[in-house]
A and B are shown apart, each in its own frame.
Chain A
Amino acid sequence: MRSSFNRRLSALTAILVGAGILLFGQIASFPFHADAAAYLEDQANNSYRQLRDLIPDRGRILDRNGDLLAGNVMEYTIGASPNLILDKARAAHLLAGALKDDENRILKLLDQPNSQYVVLAQQADTATVQRVAQLNLLGMTLQPIPKRIHPQGSLAAQLIGFVAGRDEDGSRRGYVGVEGEYNSELAGQVQTQPISPIPFEVNALDQPPPGHDIVLTIDRSIQYLAETQLQTAINKYGAVGGSVIVMDPRTGEILGMASYPSFDPDAFYKTTDPAVLKNPAVSDFYEPGSAFKIVTGSVALQSGKMTPDWTYYDSSPLVVGGRQIFNWDRAGHGSQSFVDVFVNSWNIGTSHIAMTLGEDIFYKGLKDFGVGQRTGIDLEGEAAGILHTPGDLYWSDSDLATNSFGQGLTVTPLQMLSFTNVIANGGQMMQPHIRLRTLDADHAIPAIPSAVRTPISPAVAKTMTDIMVRVVQVGEGVHAQVPGYTVAGKTGTAQIPCTPGPGCTDGYDDQLNEATFIGFLPADEPRVSILIKLDKVARFASETAAPAWSDLVKRLVVLMEIPTDQQRQALRAQGGNTALIAGNPLSQ
């Protein structure tokens, strides 16, 4: 009896010791992480909780006055599981009322035998979903689908970009323009939260904070004006496309940027030509033609090797590096001054200027302006343009002459206007930018205007301004005049490179041109600079882009409340601060 008890006791002891060893082994093998709490929480989550990615609302895009350009709404797909609905006739009757749909159609859908799921409505709005939810019907599925909306329609579509598909983290992805450039700020941070199936465990599914709102420098009224005037000019002069950029030269802010053809950002997927989705004002480069002469003139004056009194003898044609250079009228004009070169837009004149400067000074000057380099604007897809310099494979001696009047090199429309802004802003190029500020909850993070280049002195800028004023007063730019205002500007009729063949001589189209006009006003207190470019027109820029520029600016000065010269003088006489009226925010 005693012996049997001892055996049992020994067996029990052995079992307990074995269990103890097992437990000890388990404890010994337990990974004592530095963050044990997090490890255990993860283990708990993995064992019975599901993880759900909570995707924040995408940030909004607003214009400088707070008007919504791109926002979000939620659309819903309303579905049902017919096998979970017992009284289908009653459900169909109720759903027809909530969905404002045909009761028979819904009943037919619900009556499908062996059907697990049917879609009753798509792209339903929040109010409809709320009506359905209030029915408390078993077996209903309300699937939210976020949608990017553009209340202003196609306004500034290429500038804003579009949203399509999802990133790896599940957030929606923006492409081109602001949506592409500021995608990470707009998208916000996706958060992963555990969901517990246990009914008395409260799931605090707090929606993560939305992405940052981006406030743009553009004014939607100016943008609308730019788009409508561009469309009018294209129709009027038979162009196939074009671009308009409106900037504040003192800050580098883009006030408006339009191109045609454009697209509907709410239906971008219907666009047949993907090239339309990009922004030609920053992504497409072209040979700027005579508009580029202002850069050549600025470089010449800044070098100190030339003054406005410089003269040359204009005989046509001029042969440089084996290539014949002609003026636009293919004639020679005898003795001409530095100013005449720009007022009359003589190609031979700028060729003489470049040759007088020499390769080193000329190309150094162009690089100081940023030719062939991106401006660094905060828009996705900016192009740099092309500038070949001596020593490059594709550079030839004749390029020194042709580059001086904007051929053989390429720039984007934005670059061309930025060069103009150097002159308008006393020799300083401000960083072109599209973001005015970022809104992050209660914080506003402003974009601080900054100077990026100072390629010329204020004195040179003043001289070039005076020359550009003469261009508009008595030169090729007379059609760009705006009554009451002193305008500084320059025309640019650029030939279009083509493949040699019929209608293509010396590598350029015989008929069609790229017509550009660049300018700013008021010339003495520049407040706005504008570029208008018309693609493939059969006439000179002085006959197309210049009058189109004038038509645009006549409306723009009203929108921007820029007083006429006479009004500014009167205001000055009354003690008004016209610099303030011109509104230089940097002086505040």
Chain B
Amino acid sequence: MSSFDPVPGNKAFAKSQAVKTTPLRPHRQAAAIAALVMVVAVIIGALYLAQATTTATTGAQLQELQSTRDYLQRANEDTSAQIAADRNISVLRGRAQALGFVPVTADKLQYLVVAGYSPYRATPTPVVTPEIVYVYDETFGGWVQQQWNTLTRQFEAWSGRSQPTPTPIP
């Protein structure tokens, strides 16, 4: 018997004993790795499914909101058209006559001088501010610029310095 033979007390003996006592260890390790991969895959799948479901639900809600918006826009147009039809000059004339109004003649009109009054006030012309067109050139610098611009506008809107404007589509 050499000193390298596995005998109780030396290292070789301990190693041989460990292999003998856990003969399925390599299989368990493989199974564990496989299980881990499966668990990770299931988690990723679940996350993906959850995300896809949320997106689909949101999409459906968005479409419903778009549908509602379209309906309201149409209803507004219908109402505007109805108001315009009700204010048709023939309708107004008939209504005025029914109420006993008669056409006025020039000699029955009286004009007054109102100091400083101008009947032809200048129509305020809206100030047209040149639109800032951000061009996203698909570079990192461009992306940083776009984020910064968005952040700046949001801050200005939050601080009340200007109205928020939608981010232009690149």
Interface residues of A (CB under 8 A from B): 37, 57, 67-68, 71-74, 125-127, 130, 133, 149, 151-153, 155, 199-205, 207, 220-221, 224, 442-444, 446, 482-485, 554-555, 557-558, 561, 563-564, 567, 571, 574-576, 580-581, 583-585, 588
Contacts and interface: CB of A to CB of B under 8 A. Distances in A.
A130 B71 contact: yes
Contacts, number: 115
A363 B138 CA distance: 65
A572 to B, nearest CB: 9
10 contacts: A71-B77, A126-B74, A133-B67, A152-B84, A202-B62, A202-B63, A558-B105, A563-B109, A567-B111, A571-B111
* Shortest 3 CB-CB contacts between residues of A and residues of B: A151-B84, A200-B56, A68-B84
B52 interface: yes
A483 B59 contact: no
Contacts of B119: 561, 580-581, 583
A527 to B, nearest CB: 11
A68 B73 CA distance: 17
A588 B118 contact: yes
B86 to A, nearest CB: 8
Contact of B89 (A57, A74, A155, A200): A155
Contacts of B138: 37
A207 B70 contact: yes
B77 A73 contact: yes
Interface in B70-115: 70-71, 73-75, 77-78, 80-81, 84-85, 87-90, 103-107, 109-111, 113, 115
B62 A554 contact: no
Contacts of B67: 133
B18 interface: no
A580 B115 CA distance: 12
B71 A558 contact: no
B120 A557 contact: no
Interface in B40-65: 52-53, 55-56, 58-60, 62-63
B132 interface: no
B122 to A, nearest CB: 5
A554 to B, nearest CB: 7
A146 to B, nearest CB: 10
B26 interface: no
A588 B125 CA distance: 14
Contacts of A152: 84, 88-89
B80 A68 contact: yes
A88 to B, nearest CB: 26
A575 B77 contact: no
Contact of B63 (A73, A203, A442, A585): A203
B143 to A, nearest CB: 13
Contact of A583 (B62, B78, B120): B120
Nearest to A585: B120
B87 A581 contact: no
B124 to A, nearest CB: 9
B112 to A, nearest CB: 8
B141 interface: no
A67 B60 CA distance: 39
A483 B107 contact: yes
* Consensus secondary structure, chain B interface: helix
Given A203-B63, A583-B120, A585-B120, A571 B84 contact: no
B59 A580 contact: no
Given A153-B90, A202-B63, A203-B59, 14 more contacts: A72-B77, A126-B75, A199-B59, A199-B60, A200-B56, A202-B62, A207-B70, A483-B107, A555-B103, A558-B109, A563-B111, A571-B111, A575-B113, A583-B120
A484 B80 contact: no
Interface in B125-156: 125-126, 128, 138
Nearest to A227: B89
A181 B67 CA distance: 34
B66 interface: yes
Given A204-B62, A207-B70, A571 B113 contact: yes
A581 B59 contact: no
A221 B87 CA distance: 12
Contacts of A558: 103-106, 109
Contacts of B128: 443
A200 B59 CA distance: 6
Nearest to B107: A484
A130 B74 CA distance: 11
Contacts of A153: 88, 90
Contact of A581 (B103, B109, B111): B111
B107 A564 contact: yes
Contact of A202 (B58, B73, B81, B115): B58
A68 B106 CA distance: 28
Contacts of B89: 152, 155, 220-221, 224
B106 A554 contact: yes
Contact of A444 (B55, B84, B126): B126
A138 to B, nearest CB: 16
A221 B84 CA distance: 14
B78 A125 contact: yes
A588 B122 contact: yes
Contacts of A133: 67
Given A126-B71, A554-B106, A558-B104, A574 B122 contact: no
B42 to A, nearest CB: 20
Given A67-B87, A152-B89, A558-B106, A73 B78 contact: yes
B137 to A, nearest CB: 11
B115 A575 contact: yes
A588 B109 contact: no
A468 B53 CA distance: 82
B85 A151 contact: yes
A332 to B, nearest CB: 41
Contacts of B59: 199-203
A63 to B, nearest CB: 10
A446 B125 CA distance: 8
B77 to A, nearest CB: 6
A68 B84 CA distance: 6
A585 B120 CA distance: 7
B78 to A, nearest CB: 5
Nearest to A205: B66
A199 B118 contact: no
A71 B56 contact: no
Nearest to A574: B113
